[in-house]
Chain A
Amino acid sequence: MSITTVRPFPAELRRLQDEIEAIARRSRLDFFETVFEVLNYEELNEVAAFGGFPTRYAHWRFGMAYEELAKGYTYGLQKIYEMVINNDPCYAYLLECNTLMDQKLVMAHVYGHCDFFKNNIWFAHTNRKMMDQMANHGNCIRAYMDKHGVDEVESFIDACLSIEDLIDIHSPGIKRRERASRYDFGEPAERDPIQPGKFKSKPYMDGFVNPRQRLEDERKQLEDQQKQAERRFPEHPERDVMLFLIENAPLANWQRDVLSIVRDEAYYFAPQAQTKIMNEGWASYWHSTIMTQHELTTAEVVDYADHHSGTVATHPGRVNPYKLGLELFRNIEERWNTGRFGRAYEECDDRDERAGWDKDLGLGRAKIFEVRKIYNDVTFIDDFLTPEFCREQQMFAYAFNDKTHQYEIESREFKKIKERLLFSLTNFGQPFIAVQDANHENRSELYLLHQHNGVDLKLDYAEDTLRNIHKLWTRPVHLETRFDDKPVVLTFDGTEQHKRLLGDNS
């Protein structure tokens, strides 16, 4: 079943698909049924611009993405060979003008992705019928556009997109709280009576060791604290800002629907951003394994080498996820094959012994299958990046030099490289923001808290994001953060922008 075109799938490619699928299964890859479709480059760019979903709702940013892809293709800077969708069945698009060798490589690559989508734990909660869901979203938004006007709905989507990254990526796996209901006015739960801390003492000494007056004061203080906590809403800081607004902002029904759609899609795409290095690495591992061990004909070797080296080429200023992922998976396989892990190896400080270390365990394959199941990029790098690996791969950290006004290689130190990598991966390299109080100063103003970790926010963007949140919340919104080591509150009250130092009430 094809979804974008009525073009039949060529018999030659069908034969290749059967062949490669059989090899993939024999290699113990486990995937959903995979449906391939051949598109020309205009169609492929279009599908890619829609994030893989030809049935997506209308929005100018997809047009923007298309322009970038089309220009890149026209000027010969980039070319998408393939596109895979996390869905059951898994949809994959091939570029029509690929050579047969390209198509083989791409198919093998696709089966790697499909296996990853199906088995990696971070994808476990994604909607496997997203193709249908996206079509529904598309219809829903089109209907709202017909009813309320394109501009109105599109502008509202723009505002929602401003906070599309304010989600709680762990929430699909952890239940943080009961789903709030706006109509739930139940009594607060009974609590244990508040007991001030008492020192242990003999009964006849008690009055002296624990003076009555002090106990009373302490009890009062605790009671006040608890009352205050009860008045605070939400009770605990809420990372899922979108959900909080869906449940609590004064939105029209259509607006609530649109915000929910944006949130659904954000959660659907989040795991792909969380596992970019692993996912591409895994797919590259499998295309290279399947191609070099099974599928390549002698006539194709040079072209394959050309294509593959293009995919894993390194650039000085960025990490190529294909390369890093592939090399790291191979490195893990090698280490677990030879037994270069665990305490005995770590503690061995004889250089020659370490270099020749081979316990002939043969655990490599099993280990990488396990890794692809339970890791994401952050834990992947944290656990498996080693100083030896960084050296072999010629990795370095770079930074902007204010004096020379250019980016320069800063260090080749393992610790620094790892720190940089992890920083750029943690929370997708974005700041942590949570709803602290939705009834700030008892005036139903929204108070957001930025968990500052040493890097300041981009001020103008933060201010404009507040404006967009104000469109949803409609009451004044605040953001507590830090600039130049001073606590600062940014405020947008509907007409004006303020920035004031915390503790300074003027």
Chain B
Amino acid sequence: MVQKIDRDNARFRQIVRGKIKQELKKYITHGEMIGKQGKEYISIPLPQIEIPHFRYGARGHGGVGQGEGDIGQPLGPGEAQAGDGAGDRPGGHILEVEVSLSELAEILGEELQLPHIEPRGKNTIYEEKDRYTGIRQTGPESLRHFKRTYKRALKRQIASNQYNPQLPLVIPIREDKLYRSWKTIEKPEANAVIIYMMDVSGSMTDEQKEIVRIEAFWIDTWLRSQYNGLETRYIVHDAEAAEVDRETFYHTRESGGTRISSAYTLCDRLVDERFPATDWNVYVFHFSDGDNWGEDNAICVELLSEKLLRKCNLFCYGQVESPYGSGQFIRELQRGLDERDNLAVAEIPDKDAIYDSIKVFLGKGR
């Protein structure tokens, strides 16, 4: 439903993201709402913009409250509402709910004007999800709805004259108990896998890995917003390739020569065995400093054009700059495979270039 407030709300969000009205930027406070989930406090981020007014400054000129407690007893987190010091709450058990990733992806998509991806509509797979929406009379104790059960027990006790206001003891019996119940809903699922490959030969420095890490995070975020159930796989290579876990991917440092074809071969096998292109949307990202073993370049181009490019939605090659490397590989790709529209290549000389390269990679909307 389109609401009148949507316009104002969109404008507010734009200000918070610093897209318009820069002069208000300094008034943005990243406040929070304190909620309670079970026994834990959760913090819900709530950006606010406070237009400057003449205000009293002295922090904690205090306030008035109501309740039990001795003098000197501290108030709980999120309780004090007076003055401007209300932000200085004791930390403790506050669980941060950061900006949700979907919100982040939305920001990214808007910033980069990324097109939404059309999933390859081959096999639609249905995913089952449980949602706890109903109430019923039976169920496991772990799903008991405390408040409703309590109310029923209270009503019964009052009606049957078993309730003593002096000793307000409420004991639910079996008939009082109510349980949450769930509904299974089916959601169509378009499956996608991202395969990251990184060159970890001696010439890749920590700084370059940092660039890869940041870039991978944003790509991940964006693709996740487009697909449910996204899988990721990591491959590192020098002269030989190996599939690794995420942690290793970012932190390994090998040395030795570089044979990119080793990674491409492994990747091709992985796709064939685990993620057949008929069922999966396959995204492959490869980062390297472009310093390959001379004769290997031709093999790579052939592997790509004959095998990998036929299977994946998108193959992206990002070349970071290396003080040692020749950076020849990107030119080979450009020369050999220029006409393939599911190939994207970009040079990423420094962190500032990440932004543009993401746009090159994901701007294709595939």
Measuring CB to CB, which residues of chain A are less than 8 angstroms from any residue of chain B? 42-43, 45-46, 49-50, 54, 58-64, 66-68, 71-72, 75-77, 151, 154-155, 158, 161-166, 301-303, 306, 314-320, 323-324, 393-401, 404-412, 417, 420-421, 423-424, 429-431, 433, 450, 455-462, 464-465, 467-468
Contacts and interface: CB of A to CB of B under 8 A. Distances in A.
Nearest 4 Cβ contacts at the A-B interface = A400-B60, A317-B79, A458-B57, A63-B8
Contacts of A429: 56
Contact of A318 (B5, B48, B56, B81): B81
Contacts of A50: 5
A49 B5 CA distance: 8
A460 B62 CA distance: 20
A61 B69 CA distance: 38
A398 B63 contact: yes
B97 to A, nearest CB: 9
B61 A399 contact: yes
A302 B155 contact: yes
A316 B89 CA distance: 14
Contacts of A59: 8
Contact of B12 (A61, A77, A405, A461): A61
A315 B51 contact: no
Contact of B64 (A164, A395, A408): A395
A152 B58 CA distance: 34
A234 to B, nearest CB: 19
Contact of A461 (B21, B23, B53, B72): B53
Contact of A60 (B11, B53, B88): B11
Given A42-B3, A63-B12, A316 B46 contact: no
B15 interface: yes
A316 B65 contact: yes
B10 to A, nearest CB: 7
Of the listed residues A166, A306, A399, A409, the one surrounded by the most CB atoms of chain B closer than 10 A to its CB is A409
A423 B64 CA distance: 10
Nearest to B159: A298
A393 B155 contact: no
Contacts, number: 238
A323 B48 CA distance: 28
Given A77-B33, A431-B55, A455-B56, A410 B11 contact: no
Contact of B63 (A61, A72, A301, A319): A319
A398 to B, nearest CB: 5
A398 B62 contact: yes
Contacts of A465: 52-54
A161 B5 contact: no
A465 B10 CA distance: 26
Contacts of B84: 458
Contacts of A151: 20-21
A396 B82 CA distance: 14
Contacts of B15: 60
Contact of B11 (A63, A412, A430, A461): A63
Contact of A66 (B9, B21, B88): B9
A409 B69 contact: yes
Of the listed residues A314, A400, A465, the one surrounded by the most CB atoms of chain B closer than 10 A to its CB is A400
A169 to B, nearest CB: 15
A410 B62 contact: yes
Contact of B8 (A66, A397, A407): A66
Given A60-B12, A317-B79, A400-B85, A72 B33 contact: yes
Contacts of A400: 59-60, 62, 80, 83, 85, 88
B214 interface: no
